[in-house]
Amino acid sequence: MVTKTRNSILALLCCAAVFSGCDKNDPDPGNGDGDGQLLGKTTYVIAASSGAQGVADYLLTSGQLESGILSTVGQGIEQDGSYRYYVQHKHRFFSLLYGQGNPGAVTTYKLNADGKLEKWSDFQTETVQVFAPVKDDLLLLKVPRSGTETALAIRINADSSKIVKETQINVVKLAGNGERAHFTWATQVGNKVFAPYMSIKGAAPDVFGTAYPDSTWIAVFSYPDLTLEKVIKDNRTSFIGAYFNNGLQVVENGDIYGFSPASATSNGAPVSTRPSAFVRIKSGTTEFDQSYFFNVQEKSGGYKIAQQTYFGNGKFLLSMYGNANHTVAAPRRLAIADVFNQTFTWVTGVPEILSVSSPYNNNTGDTEKSTGYVGINTSAGNYIYKINVNNGTATQGMKVEGGNITSIVKVDY
């Protein structure tokens, strides 16, 4: 599961690129009992920001999220810097520092037999915009918004924490329309990588504007060599996902669902004329399924999708823009979308309008129990809510003191 902190700075870059790799004599990180064998256990890593100068978050761990109190006071593992982003892969927990244009660092943790984080290694980084688990790797994409026409794809082996290969992708040639392709994320689909992108002008004063607001593109790359095989196109909605925002999900039967916020702009003004919706690519195909179109904007009464977290069985927890027919940064509302049955339900039991400080897509869930866990920060306190994704009801659970909840990650060990 990939998570990202600080939803209020989605327009900023994430640092996480060139990993320096571990010394060849470093022990294998293993899992849990230290010999590389999984213990069949699960814990949750909760990141909370105290607002302290030079401290991005404190990492706390808990075996459950439904009761009790967690506090950053005298507890947790301090994460330095201003902003951190997190990804879990191969039973490792990666903490990635956003360097604000400067080189940063990535710290890797494993879990010991007690479910506590133990630092394994540190990495050197440069700024990237995409970091996604693909097979045994973390695939990182450094995507230029202007200037150079070349995006850099970096494959990092998640076990050894070493660079496997770097590949260049010409984003102007990929777009093929005089603009440039700006990848919103990357997703493993079988033995390929599907990378949705937005078409952007890439030049001041309208870098992220576009002359093509009502089109959808997904670049299909072979893996691991990252050769472009084709571009999947459609024009029933706008681009999939958003800047620094994963909009694509492979579900249990292998079908792929993608959402569009329909948020394209030109000269700072919204210009998308298509609705915010889910589209589908059937398993084993590389074309949009023209028989499927889930118009979420219509079902919700005019609201657009901001972000998604998948909780299994076709159920998505959606962060919806809080104002109908608009895509503004705050406030937000939570909803459940069933993409199989094309139903939409507002979540009850949580504040109807949420502040932008809540981690809308940095949540986790238990597919077998149809349960999701969501961090919600309010002036009355910061709590983790348990959400029944079948009926959209929420129950207040664990309280987090000493900082705003920025991420919840489920890690097996």
- Coil vs helix vs strand at 227: coil
- Rounded Cα gap, residues 238 and 275, in angstroms: 8
The whole-number pLDDT of residue 81 equals: 84
CA geometry: angle 92, 95, 99, nearest 5 deg: 150
- Rounded Cα gap, residues 308 and 246, in angstroms: 8
- Rounded Cα gap, residues 301 and 281, in angstroms: 26
Could you list the beta-strand ranges (E) of 244-392: 248-250, 256-260, 265-266, 269-270, 277-281, 305-310, 315-321, 332-338, 343-346, 364-366, 371-378, 381-388
Please list the residues that pair with 260 across neighbouring strands: 277
The whole-number pLDDT of residue 102 equals: 67
User: In 10 A of CB 90, how many CB atoms?
Assistant: 16
The whole-number pLDDT of residue 249 equals: 96
Concatenated DSSP letters for 7-39? GGGTTSPEE--------TTSPP---BSSSS---
- pTM for the model stands at 0.89
The whole-number pLDDT of residue 244 equals: 80
Concatenated DSSP letters for 176-208? -SSSEEEE---EEETTEEEEEEEEE--STT-TT
Low-confidence residues of the chain: pLDDT under 70: 1-37, 99-104, 125-127, 356-357, 359-361, 365, 367-368
Q: How many residues make up the chain in this entry?
A: 413
Measured in degrees and rounded to the nearest 5, phi and psi for residue 345 equal -140, 130
- Rounded Cα gap, residues 155 and 138, in angstroms: 6
pLDDT digits (tens, 9 = 90+) for 211-257: 999 999 999 999 999 999 999 999 999 999 988 889 999 999 999 99
Please list the residues that pair with 327 across neighbouring strands: none
The whole-number pLDDT of residue 28 equals: 45
The whole-number pLDDT of residue 4 equals: 47
Alpha helices per DSSP H over 249-374: 296-299
283's tokens: 């398993």
The whole-number pLDDT of residue 104 equals: 62
Question: In the Cβ-directed half-sphere of 383, how many Cα atoms lie within 13 Å?
Answer: 19
Burial 229-238 (b: 16+ CB within 10 A, else e): eebbebebbb
CA geometry: angle 320, 129, 309, nearest 5 deg: 30
The whole-number pLDDT of residue 123 equals: 75
The whole-number pLDDT of residue 412 equals: 87
The whole-number pLDDT of residue 11 equals: 32
Taking CA atoms, 225 is separated from 117, 137, 180, in Å, by 33, 13, 22
The whole-number pLDDT of residue 186 equals: 97
Q: Which residue segments constitute the domains of the chain, with CATH numbers given?
A: 2-412 (2.130.10.10)
